[in-house]
Chains A and B, each alone.
Chain A
Amino acid sequence: GEDVEQSLFLSVREGDSSVINCTYTDSSSTYLYWYKQEPGAGLQLLTYIFSNMDMKQDQRLTVLLNKKDKHLSLRIADTQTGDSAIYFCAEKKMDSSYKLIFGSGTRLLVRP
């Protein structure tokens, strides 16, 4: 199937770390992405990881990829109130289409 699954909601305190999880189904996926959607706005690419990598770090963001379990996570260090948004993971299939399959999104709420 094409299901990419995420937990719906995460609440953390400002300054704590946030970990958003995602499971995907297609083991042949080439790229996996994390997008952020702020209220009333479109999606913005945060970071991505190529399928032959285990980990990628980009400032406060750390992406971990477990290909065996088809599990992707996004860790946000020192979470700020401005990080409150919906986070979508997405997979790019290893086929001729340009299609991204998006997860259902995780709403992150950062409490002061």
Chain B
Amino acid sequence: DTAVSQTPKYLVTQMGNDKSIKCEQNLGHDTMYWYKQDSKKFLKIMFSYNNKELIINETVPNRFSPKSPDKAHLNLHINSLELGDSAVYFCASSQAEMSLYEQYFGPGTRLTVT
């Protein structure tokens, strides 16, 4: 199946731990994104990579570090997890050369910090 996939789908962890969320797309896109959706469903972009280079970095704490080993992968590593990090994290991808910039979303990772 051609898609954007994320692992894990659910992640429950304690405060202070370090965790990673993985994202892969097999659509051949060159741009990938991480979004955070809070409990009120508000969706906010965190990072964007184009051809493995960081192009968008919103005001996200340094504890969040994206890593893009290649164009098809964009992983999110979170250090010293806090209660406020609990949210659903969505990965997305698009083809930058296409002016429509349609973004394809993954199914989301629900992170719960206790």
A residues neighboring B (CB under 8 Å):
30-31, 33, 35, 37, 40-45, 48, 86, 88, 92, 97-100, 102, 104-105, 107
Given contacts A40-B107, A42-B107, A104-B40, 17 further A-B contacts (CB under 8 A): A31-B99, A35-B105, A40-B108, A42-B4, A42-B106, A42-B108, A45-B104, A48-B102, A97-B48, A98-B33, A98-B56, A98-B101, A100-B103, A102-B42, A102-B44, A105-B42, A107-B41
The docked-state distance in angstroms from the alpha carbon of A99 to that of B35 is 11
Residues of A within 8 A of B4 (CB): 42
B34 interface hit (Cβ, 8 Å): no
- Chain B interface residue count, CB cutoff 8 Å, equals 27
**In whole Å, how far is B100's beta carbon from the nearest beta carbon of chain A?**
6
The docked-state distance in angstroms from the alpha carbon of A41 to that of B31 is 21
Would you mind naming 30 contact pairs between A and B with Cβ atoms under 8 Å apart?
A31-B101, A33-B102, A37-B41, A40-B107, A41-B107, A42-B92, A42-B105, A42-B107, A42-B108, A43-B43, A43-B90, A43-B92, A43-B103, A45-B102, A45-B104, A88-B43, A97-B48, A97-B56, A98-B31, A98-B48, A98-B50, A98-B96, A98-B101, A100-B101, A102-B43, A104-B41, A104-B42, A105-B42, A105-B43, A107-B41
| A-B interface contact total, Cβ < 8 Å | 60
Among A37, A40, A45, A107, point to the contact of B103 (Cβ < 8 A).
A45
B113 interface hit (Cβ, 8 Å): no
